Structure 1
Amino acid sequence: MWRWRGNPLCRRTDRIQGWIALGLLVLVPCLAAVTATTARDTVRDHYRAVAEHQARSRYFTPAVLVHDAPRHPEPGSPEARHTRYPVTVRYTDPLGHERTARTEVEPGLRGGSTTGLWVDADGSPARPPMPAAEIRSRALGWALLAFAAVTVAGIAVYDGCCRILLRRNSAEWDEAWARTGPRWSRFP
């Protein structure tokens, strides 16, 4: 608030800079929140549509392991529960053709065991449809990026305005010195 107090050294550009800072301080968070919300909703709707399309066009089919899956070095450990190993499996595609592919399965499964495999309409292995948690995280990520982009843009606008005002201040100081300097430069 020091820019608005009465001060004989305060120039008009200092007051303008203060008003710009205040305006951006109010405007940028509001715009950033609106932009982040809009980005989140748009991305969420897009990925929901993608997930629905994937759910309609992909099929979960049983697959039989061709050979044994490797055993985990530490069976029963927490890491073993989350580890998957790629193995060859045999399955029947939606068109009725027998096919083979590689997929990741739990460690230690025996050859001939049945597991599940997601395939697309052509019968090629595919990723499972996008889960709701992934949709949420992607939407949140884009919302955070939008918020950050608006904030950085606000900072850039303030910096640009300050540079313009500083250039104007320097020009005014040069003019004032050009008028005053000769009087100070004379020697007695």
Structure 2
Amino acid sequence: MEDTIPPAQPPPGPRLGPPRSLRPWHRRPNPLRRPTDRFQARIGLGLLLAVLVVAPVAGVVVEELAHRHYTDTARHQALTRHETSATLTEDVPRHPEPGSDEAKLARYPAEVRLTTPDGRTATTRAEVPPGLSAGGQVRVWVTADGEATEPPLTREQIRSRSMGCALLAAVGTVLAGAAAHAVICHVVRRRNLTAWERAWAETAPRWTPSG
């Protein structure tokens, strides 16, 4: 019985996927790659991962601490400050643009006279709206000693300041990681230069022709 001739096979097609040389897990060894280069790459990767983990955690922790601090501050301010009526002892300058949105928010320092919680009459300087005349009545926040001050922190102010502290903590963590990486790179670079100079000092005499 004659042998059966197998049918012709099509030529092999192109290899699927990237060539082995382009796959990160099949990198070819580089003879010029120094141990310090591998160390620097690993340190850079480690710092990057550390920053990605620490920055959000630092932001959350700092925001919680800041929120607690400002909440306690607002509570203390509410206990030690109060709003009262005061009498202007001098005219307040007029705003250059009366009736404008800027004029509604503007405040000018002026001397006022008020009565403290213990019944004393005190004089202090407070921020008041523009255009008022002497003898007019204004509402001001004062301390127990009769000194003009700011009103207690509001919830919005507490939230805003806490978020600002959290942002600063996260940015500070990133900057600290970048600074650490820069310092390590500088140290490694100096070490490489020192090693190169030492190796060149040993090699150069063999390259120099004798006279």
Q: TM-score range by the shorter chain?
A: 0.7 to 0.9
State the Cα distance separating 1:39 from its structure 2 match. Answer: 1.7
Matched, 1:103 2:103: no
1:48 counterpart (71, 74, 79): 71
For 1:10 and 1:95, locate their aligned partners in 2 and report how far apart those are by CA, in whole Å: 80
The aligned runs of 1:39-118 (5 Å cut-off) are 39-118=62-141
Query: How far did residue 56 of structure 1 move?
Result: 0.9
Alpha-carbon shift at residue 82 of structure 1 (Å): 1.5
Pick closer, same or farther for the CA change 1:162–1:110 going to 2, 3 Å: closer
Q: 1:98 to 1:7 in 2, by over 3 A?
A: same
Is the aligned partner of 1:183 residue 2:210? no
> Which among 43, 46, 64 is matched to residue 20 of structure 1?
43
Task: Show the counterpart of 2:11.
Answer: none
Which protein is richer in helix relative to its size?
A: 1
Counting aligned pairs with the same residue, the percent is: 46
Unaligned runs of 5+ in 2: 1-23
TM-score, normalised on structure 2? 0.76
Contact preservation (8 Å) 1:65, 1:88: yes
String of CA shifts for 1:61-89, please: whole Å, max 9, x gaps: 11223344333232212222122223332
Q: How many Å separate the matches in 1 of 2:140 and 2:163?
A: 29
| TM score, norm. by length of structure 1 | 0.84
Change (3 A) 1:181 1:132: same
Corresponding residue for residue 158 of structure 1: 181
Q: Does 1:125 align with 2:148?
A: yes
Q: Deviations over 1:60-119 (max 9, x none)?
A: 111223344333232212222122223332221100122232222222334443221212
Equivalent-residue separation in structure 2 for 1:34 and 1:84 (angstroms): 40
Letter in 1 for 2:71: R
Equivalent pair of 1:95/1:123 in contact (CA under 8 Å): no
Is the aligned partner of 1:174 residue 2:197? yes
Alpha-carbon separation, structure 2, partners of 1:57 and 1:187: 91
- Unpaired runs of 5+ residues, structure 1, are none
The structure with higher relative contact order (CA 8 Å, sep 6+) is: 1
Moved over 4 A (4+): none
The letter for the 2-side match of 1:60 is E
Q: Secondary structure at the match of 1:154?
A: helix
Counterpart of 1:45 in structure 2: which amino acid?
Answer: R
Q: Equivalent residue of 1:119, what SS?
A: strand
Cα distance, 1:86–1:180 mapped onto 2, change above 3 Å? closer
For the residue of structure 2 that corresponds to 1:8, the secondary structure is: coil
